[in-house]
Amino acid sequence: MVISLDLITSVISFLFTLLILSYLIGDNPLFRIAVYIFVGVSSGYVAAVAWWQVIMPRLIYPLVYGSVLERSFIAIPLLGALLILMKIFPRWAGLARIAMAFLVGAGAAVIIAGALIGTLIPQISATINAFDVNSASVRNISVVEVIFNGAFILAGTVFTLIYFHFGASPKADGSMRRLGLIETSAWVGRIFIGITLGTIFAGVFAAALTALIERISALINFFGNF
Amino acid sequence: MPDIIICPSCGENNLPDQEFCQYCQTRLQPLTGPLKGADAPIKPGQVPTKKNTAELEPILPQWLRDARDLARKDDQQAAQENLQQPAQSQPASSAKDLLAGLQSQAGDVKESDLPDWLASITGVISKSTKSQTESSDFRWVELGDKNDFAKDESAELSSDEPQPDEKDEVRDWFRNLGSSEQTQQPEQPESIENSFSGSSASDTPDLLRTIGGQEETANSADSADYSETGLGEPPTGIISESLKSTESATSANELPDWLSSDATIPPSTAVEDEPTAMEDVPFDDIEDESEAAALQSPSYTIFEEKSLEPAQEEHPLGWLDTFQPVSAHQPETPIEQADFTPLDFTEDSQVSDNLDELFIDIPDGLSSASEVPRSSIPTADTDSEVIAPDDLPSWVEAMRPVDHGISQLSSQTLESGGALAGLAGVLPAAAGFAPMSKPNAYSIKSQASEEQQAQAALLEQMLTAETAPVPMASFSVLRTSRRLRWFLTFTIFIMIAIPLFLRTQMFSLPVGIPLAVNGALQVAQSIPEDAPVLVAFDYEPARVGEMEAAAAPMFDQMILLRHPHLTFISTNETGAILVERFISGPLAVHNYQSGIQYLNLGYLPGGQIGIRAFAQNPQITAPFDMSFSAAWDSAPLEGVNSLSQFAALIVVTDNADAARTWIEQTESARGGIPFVVISSAQAAPMIQPYYESQQISGLVSGLYGGALFEQYNAGRPGTARSYWDAFSLGMLLAMALVLGGGLWNFSLGLRDRAAAWEAQ
d(CA A84, CA A99): 6
Give the minimum alpha-carbon distance from B598 to chain A in angstroms, rounded to a whole number.
18
d(CA B701, CA B688): 9
Please say if the pLDDT value at position A167 is more than 90: no
- On chain B, the residues whose CB falls within 8 A of the CB of A196 are 685
Residue B281 or A214, more confident? A214
Assess contact for B102 and B240: CB atoms under 8 A: no
Give the minimum alpha-carbon distance from B446 to chain A in angstroms, rounded to a whole number.
36
- Choose among A45, A54, A213: nearest Cβ to B726: A213
Average of per-residue pLDDT across A188-195:
92
Please say if the pLDDT value at position B443 is more than 80: no
Most distant CA atoms of chain B, gap in Å: 166
Nearest residue of B to residue A195, measured between CA atoms = B685
Kindly determine whether residue B685 and residue A200, on different chains, have CB atoms separated by under 8 Å: yes
Give the minimum alpha-carbon distance from A118 to chain B in angstroms, rounded to a whole number.
4
Please say if the pLDDT value at position A115 is more than 70: yes
Q: Letter for the amino acid at B96?
A: K
Kindly determine whether residue B730 and residue A209, on different chains, have CB atoms separated by under 8 Å: yes
At residue A101 the predicted structure's pLDDT band, cuts being 50, 70 and 90, is very high
At residue B699 the predicted structure's pLDDT band, cuts being 50, 70 and 90, is very high
For β-strands B648-653 and B13-14, DSSP reports them as unpaired
Please say if the pLDDT value at position A39 is more than 90: yes
- On chain A, the residues whose CB falls within 8 A of the CB of B603 are 49-50, 53-54
d(CA B671, CA B644): 6
- Choose among B543, B608, B703: nearest Cβ to A111: B608
Give the minimum alpha-carbon distance from B574 to chain A in angstroms, rounded to a whole number.
7
- B598 phi and psi angles, rounded to 5 deg: -140, 160
How many CB pairs lie under 8 A apart between chains A and B?
150
**Domains of chain B with bracketed CATH:** 66-415 (no CATH), 515-721 (3.40.50.720)
Among the listed residues B49, B236, B78, the one whose alpha carbon sits nearest the alpha carbon of residue B136: B49
Nearest residue of B to residue A202, measured between CA atoms = B682
Kindly determine whether residue A209 and residue B605, on different chains, have CB atoms separated by under 8 Å: no
User: How many CB atoms are closer than 10 A to CB B693?
Assistant: 19
- On chain A, the residues whose CB falls within 8 A of the CB of B623 are 57-58
Give the minimum alpha-carbon distance from A92 to chain B in angstroms, rounded to a whole number.
25
Nearest residue of A to residue B585, measured between CA atoms = A6
User: How many CB atoms are closer than 10 A to CB B246?
Assistant: 29
Is A197 part of the contact surface with chain B (CB cutoff 8 Å)?
A: no
**Confidence at residue B747, expressed as pLDDT on a 0 to 100 scale:** 93
* B267 cis-preceded (ω within 30 degrees of 0): no
**Confidence at residue B43, expressed as pLDDT on a 0 to 100 scale:** 61
Contacts of B366 (CB under 8 A, 6+ apart): B275, B276, B279, B393, B395
**Confidence at residue B208, expressed as pLDDT on a 0 to 100 scale:** 46
d(CA B116, CA B163): 14
Give the minimum alpha-carbon distance from B418 to chain A in angstroms, rounded to a whole number.
58
- Choose among B605, B609, B723: nearest Cβ to A110: B609
% of chain B with per-residue pLDDT over 70: 50
- B656 phi and psi angles, rounded to 5 deg: -65, -35
- Choose among B605, B607, B730: nearest Cβ to A213: B730
- B130 phi and psi angles, rounded to 5 deg: -105, 140
- Choose among A58, A118, A211: nearest Cβ to B546: A211
- Over the stretch B528-578, which tens digit does the pLDDT of each residue have? 888 999 999 999 888 898 999 999 999 999 998 888 999 999 998 888 889
- Over the stretch B668-692, which tens digit does the pLDDT of each residue have? 888 889 999 999 999 998 998 899 8
Nearest residue of A to residue B731, measured between CA atoms = A206
At residue B649 the predicted structure's pLDDT band, cuts being 50, 70 and 90, is very high
DSSP structure class, residue B446: -
Residue A166 or B34, more confident? A166
At residue B174 the predicted structure's pLDDT band, cuts being 50, 70 and 90, is low
Assess contact for B568 and B597: CB atoms under 8 A: no
Kindly determine whether residue A213 and residue B545, on different chains, have CB atoms separated by under 8 Å: yes
User: At B83, which helix (H) or strand (E)?
Assistant: helix B62-84
**Confidence at residue B71, expressed as pLDDT on a 0 to 100 scale:** 84
Kindly determine whether residue B695 and residue A117, on different chains, have CB atoms separated by under 8 Å: no
**3-state SS, residue B630:** strand
- On chain B, the residues whose CB falls within 8 A of the CB of A49 are 573, 576, 602-603
Residue B340 or A62, more confident? A62
Is A106 part of the contact surface with chain B (CB cutoff 8 Å)?
A: yes
Among the listed residues B588, B523, B534, B536, the one whose alpha carbon sits nearest the alpha carbon of residue B562: B523
Query: For A114-146, b where at least 16 C-beta lie within 10 A, e where not — what string?
Result: bbeebbeebbeebbebbeeeeebeeeeeeeeeb
Is A46 part of the contact surface with chain B (CB cutoff 8 Å)?
A: yes
Kindly determine whether residue A207 and residue B603, on different chains, have CB atoms separated by under 8 Å: no
Is A210 part of the contact surface with chain B (CB cutoff 8 Å)?
A: yes
Please say if the pLDDT value at position B514 is more than 50: yes
The ipTM, to two decimals, is 0.87
Give the minimum alpha-carbon distance from A49 to chain B in angstroms, rounded to a whole number.
7
Among the listed residues B24, B30, B29, B27, the one whose alpha carbon sits nearest the alpha carbon of residue B12: B24
Average of per-residue pLDDT across B365-375:
47
Give the minimum alpha-carbon distance from B654 to chain A in angstroms, rounded to a whole number.
9
